[in-house]
Amino acid sequence: MNSEPTYDKGRHLGPTTPSSWVTRFAPLAPADGLVLDLACGGGRHGRHFLGHGHAVVFLDRDVSDVQDLAGHANVEIIEADLEGGGTLPFAGRLFAAIVVTNYLWRPILPLLADAVAEGGLLIYETFGLGNEEYSRPRNPDHLLRPGELLDAFGKDLQVVAYEHGLRHDPKPRVIQRIAAVNANAPVAIEPNS
Ligand SMILES: C[S@@+](CC[C@H](N)C(=O)[O-])C[C@H]1O[C@@H](n2cnc3c(N)ncnc32)[C@H](O)[C@@H]1O
């Protein structure tokens, strides 16, 4: 599968193919485990996991771009505002993988760490400080400070990989991203990635 993002003129004005960071670490999710695509937009990452045999929960405040998946046996769609209070709309549920991309609401970060099942995976990728030089988002509320994802998740999860820097893919943008697992033992890292 092509893992490099492409850009179109959809509602989200964003990439429609999965991030290479997500496809790289997705195999660390326990096979067949339940996946949460949080602030899913068009659900490009949940669709990737769905295609690899996972059941997926797609959550967004506007789920119109995943309605084509309604009724799919392995799909649950939740329409909810993540910024409405101190809990998550799936409180108490645990996930084999949680994926968040291009969305940041800091109060929920500790809640996400708690929602990763034992042996499960968290992948988070969004814009970092410095991105304001190039494109939106420019509001610092939506830009991660260097090391912020490490601080948010590193004490509860085992960090497998972390990056913060300027990428050209194809437009310049400052990205911070992490892959972490809820496990103590080392995980297998593919030799060709
Ligand atoms: C830039 S899009 C990213 C979509 C997807 N994660 C991706 O990378 O393709 C940001 C998404 O966050 C969702 N969102 C923004 N604020 C939200 C909120 N308060 N609660 C739930 N979803 C929200 C938007 O509806 C939008 O789908």
pLDDT tens-digit profile of 18-48? 999 999 999 999 999 999 999 999 999 999 9
- Helices and strands in the chain: count of H runs, count of E runs: 4, 7
Q: Is the CB of 47 under 6 A from ligand 1?
A: no
Asked if residue 153 has pLDDT above 80, the reply is yes
Find all residues with CB under 8 Å of 45, minimum gap 6, and list them: 18, 19, 22, 37, 99, 101, 123
Q: What is the mean pLDDT of residues 56-68?
A: 98
Model pLDDT, residue 7: 36
Residue 134 lies in a domain: yes
Asked if residue 3 has pLDDT above 50, the reply is no
Token representation of residue 118: 């034992």
User: Which CATH number covers residue 117?
Assistant: 3.40.50.150
**Cα separation values, 92 from 19, 41, 115, Å:** 28, 23, 7
Distance CA 92, CA 107 (A): 17
Residue 190 lies in a domain: no
Q: Is the CB of 39 under 6 A from ligand 1?
A: yes
Q: How far is the CA of 160 from the centre of ligand 1 (A)?
A: 25
Distance CA 33, CA 53 (A): 9
Residue 69 lies in a domain: yes
Residue 49 lies in a domain: yes
Domain of 121, in residue numbers: 20-181
81: number of Cβ within 10 Å: 11
Q: Is the CB of 142 under 6 A from ligand 1?
A: no
Q: How far is the CA of 53 from the centre of ligand 1 (A)?
A: 24
- State pTM to two decimals: 0.93
pLDDT tens-digit profile of 63-101? 999 999 999 999 999 999 999 888 899 889 999 999 999
Q: Is the CB of 11 under 6 A from ligand 1?
A: no
Distance CA 61, CA 150 (A): 27
Q: How many domains does the chain have?
A: 1
More confident residue, 156 or 189: 156
pLDDT tens-digit profile of 135-147? 999 999 999 999 9
Q: How far is the CA of 100 from the centre of ligand 1 (A)?
A: 9
Asked if residue 51 has pLDDT above 80, the reply is yes
Atom 10 in ligand 1: residue holding the nearest Cα: 103
Residue 135 lies in a domain: yes
Write down the mean pLDDT value for the chain: 92
Residue 143 lies in a domain: yes
Residue 146 lies in a domain: yes
Q: Is the CB of 23 under 6 A from ligand 1?
A: no
Q: Is the CB of 83 under 6 A from ligand 1?
A: yes
User: Percent helix, strand, coil in the chain (nearest 5)?
Assistant: 20, 30, 50
Separation of CA 137 from chain center: 17
Residue 4 lies in a domain: no
Asked if residue 1 has pLDDT above 80, the reply is no
